[in-house]
Structure 1
Amino acid sequence: MKKHHFKLLFIALSFLVSCKTEKKENYNYQQKLKKRYSKLLEYNLDSLAFPRSYNPKEKKIKKVPSKDWTSGFFAGNIWQIYQITGNPKDKELAQKWTAFIEKEKYNDKTHDMGFKVYNSFGQALKHNNNQKYKDIIVKSAQTLSSRFNNTVGSIRSWDFNKDKWNFPVIIDNMMNLELLFEASKISNDSTFYKIAVTHANTTLKNHFREDNSCFHVLDYNPENGAIRMKVTHQGYSNNSSWARGQGWAIYGFTMVYRYTKDKKYLEQAKATANFFLNHKNLPEDGIPYWDFDAPNIPNEPRDVSAGAIVASALVELYEYTKNETYLNYSKKFMNNVQTEKYILPETLDIPFILDHSSGDWSKRSEMDAPIVYGDYYFLETKLRLKLLK
């Protein structure tokens, strides 16, 4: 056999081995994911103990009641696992976790109604044309609407720090507008739609910098709507670009475009997505540091949750723009996060899937840890990519 024939044979064999290895690795991680899903499904039902995060140093799960802003994510995760598995037992479990959140429809002390109610009952409604679920969503929207100030043109976010802030509005609040849009569709009450659009317009006008990054917190004077300050609460500094905040902005304005088809929202989503994707401090693997301006990059914690939020948003943004750059990021993120570094070990008996999310730097809390909302947007991205095929 001639020398070049040996070379071609060697290349062919190498390719086959490479393909088999890749398939084996993909299979291994799919199996590992299934085992992580089982950890969520095996977690004990408890209306006062929604799993929020895990502290690896203390080896302790942080458990919260339904009033916590993260409570809806766990029920949402079970619903999304049910969508993946199709197992009726998973659906039954999701219904039980979701039922624990119903009383939050009356909680007017929080703006996080979308995170709690829509990520649980909204997911449930996808699989059950249930009038009770619809009524809960509408009632929750009415409660959320009570926090809207027409002079400011926004829904009030937090009630704490009253000695510091008069009427704080955070970029995260964009995510709660989905509940209002859906309630408007269910009830045919345009009031919810108008509040959502007004809030989006105020955020669009005031929350963004010239480079299309966003501030975390804007504080308003509720008497005249004037801006008092532009600051951060969870980012590194007032002028830094907190990664998860950029994710809320990209996802939020993409979602508002879905309901309104107003291109100004689409343009903002694209502009902030481009800021995120082209930032010099975005790592090659697409999994961002917790803040783009954190002082010790590259020795700063990553934030898988921020990357997952953006990855999910960019699948939808791709559908509206057909810009392959957006879809490529989502695929790259998913490929890189489904690895040994980020999927939690099979032996770790906690109800989470991914490691290395980051929570609240102001309290040095939940930094570089498994967090429930990181799993939620990871699962959502997985399902959205699947639906594209």
Structure 2
Amino acid sequence: MALKILTYLDDSADLIRASAVSRYWQNIVVSNGLSKHLCITRFPELASITRVDEVSHDNSEPSHNSAEIEHRAYASLFRALTSFPQTYCIADPVSASSTDNYPEESIINTLDPRDRILHRDSYWSSTGSDDPEAPETLIYNLTASLCVISEIVLHPFQALFQMDFPIYSSKAVRFRMGHPKSRDELDHDFMETQECADDKFIWTYTSPIFPVARENRLQRFKLPEPVVCIGGFLQIQLLGRVQVQAADGKYYICVAHVQAIGRRLSPAFSVEFSEPSNSVSLKYDAVEFGVAMSNVSSGRNNSLSTSLLPVQPPRQLAWGNLQDFMQMVQAHPDGVEYEWVDDDEFEIV
């Protein structure tokens, strides 16, 4: 009866309090792995963890009671998954399935919050395709091997330097998370060699497909439930194309900004993979967890900085037109005569 009652608890703090009632209840909680059960029920991705190790910071004899270690680790992990502060979780780009002009239109531009860098628009562009259904993928390394991601932010790029100011969005987007098949393969620089790294990963989570608005703005895609990314890699699948470039008649996808919002669990928690079986070990550092929870309780690091998102709203078309005009004037230092026409366009005469 006691076990049945305890399985209805939905917070690790309640399980810890229950286990403090008596040795009998403590034994029920620990021996039946109720903290682990609670974590996996809320975050099914954690079911892939096969081993738990607790980090030791002194020379004391480590505990050999695996049930007690798992209880402490999973009870703390649940609190981290639900209490650690929200932050931006993308660290570095890994690869793009294609890039039109490297490095000027590299995937690395999608992580820069500025709209322009050195007088040039900042964005990633795919190569052109005759097929409007041709997909593209962007892969990023997250800030930790263990993160819980709740939403992804995507900003389609609008080419204000082209006629009619086209927006090169995709039709839809889907997200996958996972880990590399082998860490050794990630020593390769996929961006520099312009190679796609899609087949170098095992994707353990795939989101639903979200429609993308053909608009020049940050678009937020909230996952149905927060997802634990075990391994620390995010793939963005850009599905379908909507915009043809007038210069060559091909379809392109361009992205200005990308970010993933969630909770970074390191250094209190991390995961390691054993090759070739890819079994997953959870590393738990009780000292680091205590420091992190102390910061949460005191309110430190409890707000989401906007420093990794665009610092300005999308440029208005009038400002884009003025910039284009000034660049044209600067490109002709010897002087050029302009004839202004009624529809506010100009031409060189």
Could you tell me the TM-score, scaled by structure 2's length? Answer: 0.27
Instruction: Give the number of the structure with larger relative contact order, counting CA–CA contacts within 8 Å between residues 6 or more apart.
Output: 2
Which structure is higher in strand share?
A: 2
TM-score scaled to structure 1, two decimals?
0.25
